[in-house]
Chains A and B, each alone.
Chain A
C-alpha cells in the first residue's frame, strides 16, 4: 500500500464549480499535512498546511480526519488559473522534515 494515495484524475470542471479532492495516508502517527500545487513542468509550491481543526484560505478549504486517515481539499468558485496538479503531502513522524508526496490529482478548469 502506498504511504499517500490520491485519485490521479483528471477532474474536468467548469469555471465557477466546486471541486473536492481526497487523499488517504497509511502512517497513523503522521503529524504534519500539506497540499502543494504543481503547474505543468514547474516545481511544487505550498498551497496550504492542513490542521486538525480545518483551515480556510480564500476559496480553498483543507480538512484532516485523523480517525479515518484522510485529508481533503475543497476549491470553491473554480477559476481557469486553478488548473494544476494538487499534491497531497504528509510528513511522517520521527523524521525531521522528510515529505512524502502522493501522485497528485490533476484538475482542469474549463470555460
Chain B
C-alpha cells in the first residue's frame, strides 16, 4: 500500500518568506508526527497529532512554526518569516494509533533551503 508522502520534495525560499510543507499519512493512521533533521544529526521531534488535535507540540522551536491537521488526515507544517537556520529536512511520520509500541513510518521528507 501507499506509504507516507510529503510535498514538495525540495523547497528553496528566501529569508523572511512563508512556507507550507504538506504530509499525507498512511491511510487509517490516527497519529502523525513532524520531525526536523539537520545535517549530521538525528531527527528532532517537533509536534505530534492524535486525530485533529496537537497532543504534544513541545518540540516546535518558536512561534514561527505552526502545524495543523484539520480533518485528521493530511497535515501542513507552516513556517513564517523563515530564517537560514530553518534549513533542514522536515520529516513526517504516521503510526496506527499513537501508542508507544506502534511503529512510526516516515515519509521521504521535504528538504527546505532558506537562502
Contact = CB atoms under 8 A, between A and B. Distances in A.
A100 B44 CA distance: 7
Contact of A45 (B99, B101, B106, B109): B106
Contacts of B58: 98
Contacts of B79: none
Given A43-B106, A43-B108, A43-B109, A96 B99 contact: yes
Contacts of A101: 35, 42-44
Given A31-B100, A42-B108, A46-B104, A99 B45 contact: yes
Given A95-B56, A103-B41, A32 B104 contact: no
Contacts of B40: 8, 103
Given A43-B91, A43-B108, A45-B106, A97 B99 contact: yes
Given A32-B101, A91-B100, A97 B106 contact: no
Contacts of B99: 96-97
A19 to B, nearest CB: 19
A99 B55 contact: no
A102 B37 CA distance: 11
B109 A97 contact: no
In this complex, the member of A43, A91, A98 whose beta carbon has the largest number of chain B beta carbons within 10 angstroms is: A43
B75 interface: no
Interface string A47-84: 00000000000000000000000000000000000000
Contacts of B106: 43-45
In this complex, the member of B42, B103, B106 whose beta carbon has the largest number of chain A beta carbons within 10 angstroms is: B42
Contacts of B44: 101
A43 B107 contact: yes
B95 interface: yes
A87 interface: yes
Q: Give 7 closest A-B pairs by Cβ, nearest first.
A: A101-B42, A43-B106, A98-B45, A101-B43, A32-B100, A103-B42, A46-B103
